[in-house]
Amino acid sequence: MLKNLLCAVLTVGLLAACGEPEDTRPGQPVKTRQLAFKEFIRQFEPMGKMLRDNRYDAARFLTFAEALDAAKEAPWTHFGPDTQYPPSKSTDAVWQKPDAFAKERDAFLAATGKLLEAARSKDKAQVDAPYKAVYDTCQSCHRQFRQR
């Protein structure tokens, strides 16, 4: 009971403690791509917080934008054939609509590059919109390709 309640409120990072199956396949493709996405959020979230709290720190923001840009290619090669098994949170559409998935991925890659460019300007007025644009690409892909 308490455990269920806790699991309901805990973030994705702790779900492993709530009966998530382990990825035991060689190379752990599902676990590897999930860790790669976690790295996205680790870099992306602090940027959003800075903007929301009106505490834009240009140098720190740039560090996060660089780290996100450096991490942006990591998940995609781990969506190989036959890698849709627990604990995957992908939808079957990833494999059924590879072109649509690639399109979402490419939009994210482009938006991330633009955010980095904007961050180099060190001007808050120039980073707000590109930040939001990256956010929209995360959401847009998740809508179709990640289970809720």
Q: Could you tell me the smallest distance in angstroms from the CB atom of residue 2 to ligand HEC?
A: 23
Give yes or no for residue 134 binding ligand HEC (CB under 6 A).
yes
Phi, psi of 65 (to 5 degrees): -65, -35
Residue 145 binds to ligand HEC (criterion: CB under 6 A): yes
* Residue with smaller CB distance to ligand HEC, 4 or 147: 147
Closest separation in Å from C-beta 94 to ligand HEC: 6
Q: Is 118 in the site for ligand HEC (CB under 6 A)?
A: no
Residues 110 and 44: their CA atoms lie apart, in Å, by 15
Instruction: Please work out, in degrees rounded to the nearest 5, the angle formed at the alpha carbon of residue 71 by the alpha carbons of 68 and 72.
Output: 85
33 lines the binding site for ligand HEC (CB under 6 A): yes
Q: How far is 26 from 32, CA to CA, in rounded Å?
A: 11
Q: Cβ(113)–Cβ(66) under 8 Å?
A: no
- Name the minimum Å distance from CB 140 to ligand HEC: 7
